[in-house]
Amino acid sequence: MEAKFNPLFESFTFRSGVQVENRVAMAPMTTWSSNVDGTISDAEIDYYSRRSGGVGMVITACTNVSRNGQGFHGQFAGYNDEMIPSLARVATTIKEKGSKAVLQIFHGGRLCPPELVDGDVVSASAVPTDDGQVTPRALSDEEIVTIIQEFGETTRRAIEAGYDGVEIHGANNYLLQQFFSAHTNRREDRWGGSLENRLAFPLAVVDAVKEAVAKYAKSPFLVGYRLSPEEPEEAGITMKDTFALLNELVEKELDYIHISLMDFWSEPRRGVEDKGLSRMEWIRDLVGNRVPIMGVGSIKTAEDGLKAVQMGIPFIALGREIIAEPDWVEKIESGNEEDIATTISRDAQELLVVPDPLWQGIMTRTGWFPVV
């Protein structure tokens, strides 16, 4: 390995005591490939096995903490104890290869397909989806409290299933973000209205997860939080709003904060004065060394990864890149970084070990992957 890539391979011990061997994670990505009953499929096990071992940790696709929180067809579930053996299959597969296993936990909110939740789509407020196809029902105070508890219960299941941590999914327009955003949260009770009230639900989820870890974990167990820093809607989340969320999250003694972006180097829309800085640079400057930051988005080559870490972001996550190149880390480590694949061949499904539903999405969704 070239010495200049050493920063990508420094080990790190998180606040919780969990140690990773390098600064590269597999990002959480939906595969649409689980069994109808919510259990993990053999195809997904093979998919995770193929991508574990090189990265320091694998963050799984999201699992729903509530029965009415399923956001995708073919999603593996975590909302009851019957799912623990299924969850354990994923954790065991990842850890046997040497990576840390982190379970991403979430509730889909208004983005849940109606047919998956018996038609009862819920959210912070009854704001129609962008396509106008679904208008969710506003959750009651009692239901909100129940969902908070369900995040804690699913954390317990993750501990029992052998994971090394959980990542709270507060990004990508799902329920936690729906409460944080003034675009989707029009409430006038303790869960909405002011910025402080809109922060109440996601912060209560963090507290419930941390309480479950303190109560049930017998060995180091990390807690991360993923967020999207901006929304395009006029009333949506701005960088200024995200700074307020970050300042609150920093106080929660998290192990890391994961910034969800399509492009790691993208610039803010609004909410900051123009300094020519990227979103990640603004966040780096705000958070400093208080909590490790993880960044994701179009990090394709070894040079891209090095540039991101040298910018002062301690961890990078690979999403589309590790689907196209499962050996991304190993090729850098062996000095073969020039051989990293940055495109996907139409006949490479078997070689890349990608489940059928995910492969179909890659082949048919224009612009998502560089398919050749």
38-42 contacts at long range (C-beta below 8 A, 24 or more positions apart): 38/70, 38/75, 38/76, 38/77, 38/79, 38/83, 38/86, 39/76, 39/77, 39/83, 39/85, 39/86, 40/76, 40/86, 40/87, 40/89, 40/90, 41/355
**131 inside domain:** yes
Work out the number of other CB atoms within 10 angstroms of the CB of residue 335.
11
As a whole number, mean pLDDT of residues 268-276 equals 87
Read off the CATH number of the domain in which 100 is found.
Answer: 3.20.20.70
**53 inside domain:** yes
Domain around 17: 3-364
Does the pTM surpass 0.75? The reply is: yes
Helices vs strands, H then E, count in the chain: 12, 12
Which one from 79, 174, 225, 256 is the annotated catalytic residue?
Answer: 174
**345 inside domain:** yes
Whether 79 is catalytic is no
pLDDT per position as a tens digit, 56-113: 999 999 999 999 999 999 999 999 999 999 999 999 999 999 999 999 999 999 999 9
Domain count, the chain: 1
**133 inside domain:** yes
CA–CA distance, 299 with 302 (Å, rounded to integer): 8
**371 inside domain:** no
**20 inside domain:** yes
**167 inside domain:** yes
pLDDT per position as a tens digit, 313-328: 999 999 999 999 999 9
**372 inside domain:** no
